[in-house]
Structure 1
Amino acid sequence: MQSASSNVQQARQVLADRLRELFKDAGLEGKDLAALCGWHPSKVSRISTAKAQPSEDDIRAWCRACGAEDQAGDLIASLRAVEGMWLTWRRLERAGLKRSQEERLPLYQRTRRFRSYCSWALPGLLQTYQYTEDVLRTIQRQRVATDDVADAVAARMERQRVLHEGQRLFAFLIEEPVLRNTLSAGDDQEEQLEHLLTVCGLPNVSLGVVPVAQRRPHLPVENFWIYDNAQVNVELVSGYLTLTQPSEVKAYADTFATLADIAAYGDRARALILRARDSLR
């Protein structure tokens, strides 16, 4: 599976190749284009080799110099797509955690089939109020200056309505150690596990627990969500990756299917949850 940086770099290279073709088709050399745009020649070289990302104004000037202003809109759209693929947590959460929660709501509302894999915390749609508060408080302390945790928790709780509205299907996979993590303490964690038993009984929800004993032959995987067959979001240490290429979506769908095959469901999953709950007492 490709890394975040390789996926983004590949998209940047496609944009750079299109820009380089423009000045070649116009019969220009890089130095000619630089002169027409009023730039140093090294700027054209960096952009056309994907070593530097152009701004929207750069693309407009580039197209104007090449006599291809009609292509500026399409190229700017490609640039925005590249920028949207990878968001650092600092950029995504610069206005606080509430906004980052609210911005995902339209995606949840238009999705009909959800697949979620989590290796370190329960997915947000399955969290209790207190568990959510504990998770978001930990995130806020580590990387967000603005303290709007209470509002962010309320926004995530509101988002959980998608579990009960419309004709949606949900498939959740969690690693067994998630049931025993220390993001919530004592009674809060026990309440969360009781809630998990209730939610997994919903007719539109499938919950699989990947047992530790079955995990060893398979490589570690980062947390990810698959929305229909249209988009994958991946949570990494440094940021949030969005993938829409069919081949990339398929790679994550195949990984999900592989892990689903070794997961425990129904009574076996409930037994693992109850064992984790009882260990708290």
Structure 2
Amino acid sequence: MRSARLVRSFQCVVLPAMLQSAEYARHVFGSAPDPTPEGVGRAVADRVERQSLLYEPGRESVFVLTESVLRTWPGSPALMLAQLDRLVAVESLSTVRLGVIPWQQAVPVMPRHGFTLCDSEAVVIETFRGERVLDDPAEVAAYEDTFRRFEEAAIFGSDVRELLLQVMKDFRDLDGSATR
């Protein structure tokens, strides 16, 4: 993934690795089978370090999520507010396109799992215990077609910012009710 110039990621359960805040990533790695504090710490540090790729000129990253990803949350509403704030900031980068398939929109294909395309060379599927990399050209082509269909169903730009701000409001409301 580090050498890819075009990264396209579809996620239907958890935020893409490249967009996760450190605290969100800590929950992701901490929920894997048999986590250790040292292992989780190393994995979080590596994930956050890899995110510098988002800022490199000459790279393009396209992320498509289902709205359920934004509303499935670990930890606290405050954690998600910080995470959503990060998404708003990253969405404004010239090297990033962030799209969301709103819950009101039917999905074009029933999602089975998330995946990340690295150029047109490989597909990465994250599992509880690591990553699986598929590089068979026919499989990569099938994932590219599936990604295109999800991308066509997603909203982008000001529409996605508006949705992110609404989800943030919903989490602020949750956070306020938790402190009453």
Structure-1 separation of matches of 2:126 and 2:86: 24
Q: Which runs of 5+ in 2 are unaligned?
A: 173-180
What does residue 178 of structure 2 align with?
none
Unaligned runs of 5+ residues in structure 1 are 1-106
2:10 to 88, 107, 117: 117
Match among 20, 25, 28 for residue 127 of structure 1:
20
Whether the 8 Å contact between 2:10 and 2:147 is mirrored in structure 1 is yes
Partners of 2:129 and 2:18 lie apart in 1 by 23
Q: SS of 2:31's equivalent?
A: helix
1:223–1:236 Cα contact (<8 Å) kept = no
Q: CA, structure 1 residues 167+278, in 2 after alignment: closer, same or farther (shift >3 Å)?
A: same
Give the corresponding residue for 1:33. Answer: none
Q: 1:206 to 1:111 in 2, by over 3 A?
A: same
Shift, 1:238, TM fit: 7.6
Per the alignment, residue 173 of structure 1 pairs with 64
1:268 alignment partner, one of 149, 159, 173: 159
Q: Determine what percentage of the aligned residue pairs are the same residue.
A: 35
CA contact (8 A) 1:222 1:236 kept: no
CA distance in 2, matches of 1:280, 1:133: 20
- Cα separation, partners in 2 of 1:238 and 1:127, compared to 1, 3 Å: closer
Q: Is the 8 A contact 1:112 1:169 kept in 2?
A: yes
User: How far does the alpha carbon of each residue in 1:123-142 deviate from its partner, in whole angstroms, 9 at most, with x for none?
Assistant: 11111121111221122xxx
What does residue 146 of structure 1 align with?
Answer: 36
Letter in structure 2 aligned against 1:264? I
TM-score (norm 1): 0.57
Moved over 3 A (4+): 235-240
Partner of 1:159: 50
Equivalent pairs, count: 171
Q: 1:218 aligns with which of 109, 114, 135?
A: 109
Residues 138 and 237 from structure 1, CA distance in 2 versus in 1: closer, same or farther, beyond 3 angstroms?
A: closer
Alpha-carbon shift at residue 117 of structure 1 (Å): 0.7
**Aligned: 1:258 with 2:142:** no
Is residue 13–residue 113 contact of structure 2 (8 Å, CA) maintained in 1? no
1:87-106, CA deviations, whole angstroms, 9 ceiling, x for partnerless residues?
A: xxxxxxxxxxxxxxxxxxxx
Asked if structure 1 preserves the Cα contact closer than 8 Å seen for 2:107 and 2:153, the reply is no
Indicate the structure with greater helix content.
Answer: 1
In structure 2, give the amino acid aligned to 1:121: V
How much does 1:215 deviate?
2.5
Cα distance change, pair 219–145 in 1 and its aligned pair in 2 (3 A): closer
Contact in 1 for aligned 2:88/2:161 (Cα 8 Å): yes
Q: Which has the higher contact order (CA 8 A, sep 6+)?
A: 2
Question: Are the equivalent residues in 2 in contact too, given 1:230–1:249 (CA < 8 A)?
Answer: yes
1:279 and 2:170 matched: yes
TM-score (norm 2): 0.88
Asked if 2 retains the 8 angstrom alpha-carbon contact of 1:115 and 1:171, the reply is yes
Structure 1 residue 242: deviation in Å?
A: 1.8
Higher Rg = 1
1:231-242 aligned at under 5 Å gives the runs 231-236=122-127, 240-242=131-133
